[in-house]
Amino acid sequence: MSLHALETFIKELGENSYRAKQIYAGLYKDRFTNFDEFSTLPKTFRELLKEKAEILSIKLDKHLISKDGTQKMTFAVEEGKVIETVWIPTGDEERKTICISSQVGCTLSCAFCATGLLDFKGNLKVWQIVDQILQVEKIVGDRCTNIVFMGMGEPMHNYDSVIQSAHIFHDPQTWNLGAKRITISTAGVVTGIERFIKNKEPFNFAISLNHPNPVTRKTIMGIDEKYPLEVLLKSARDFTKTLGRRITFEYIMIPGVNMGKENALKLVKILRSVNCKINLIPLNTELHGWRKPNEDEIDTFRELLKSSKVPILNRRSPGKDINGACGMLAAVSY
- Helix, strand, coil distribution of the chain in percent, nearest 5: 40, 20, 40
Name all domains of the chain by residue range, CATH numbers in brackets: 3-52 (1.10.150.530), 59-322 (3.20.20.70)
- Give the whole-angstrom CA distance, residue 292 versus residue 48: 56
Bridge partners of residue 204, in order along the sequence: 183
Q: Identify the weakest region by mean pLDDT among 211-225, 237-251, 311-325.
A: 311-325
With a cut of 60, say whether residue 141 has pLDDT above it. Answer: yes
With a cut of 50, say whether residue 334 has pLDDT above it. Answer: no
Residue 190: enclosing H or E segment and its boundaries? helix 190-198
With a cut of 90, say whether residue 116 has pLDDT above it. Answer: no
Task: Show which residues are catalytic.
Answer: 84, 326
Q: Identify the weakest region by mean pLDDT among 46-50, 161-165, 283-287.
A: 283-287
In terms of residues, how long is the chain? 334
pLDDT at 149: 98
pLDDT at 94: 86
pTM of the model: 0.94
pLDDT at 15: 95
- Give the whole-angstrom CA distance, residue 235 versus residue 246: 13
CA angle, residues 63, 66, 69, in degrees to nearest 5:
105
- Give the whole-angstrom CA distance, residue 246 versus residue 150: 18
Amino acid at 260: G
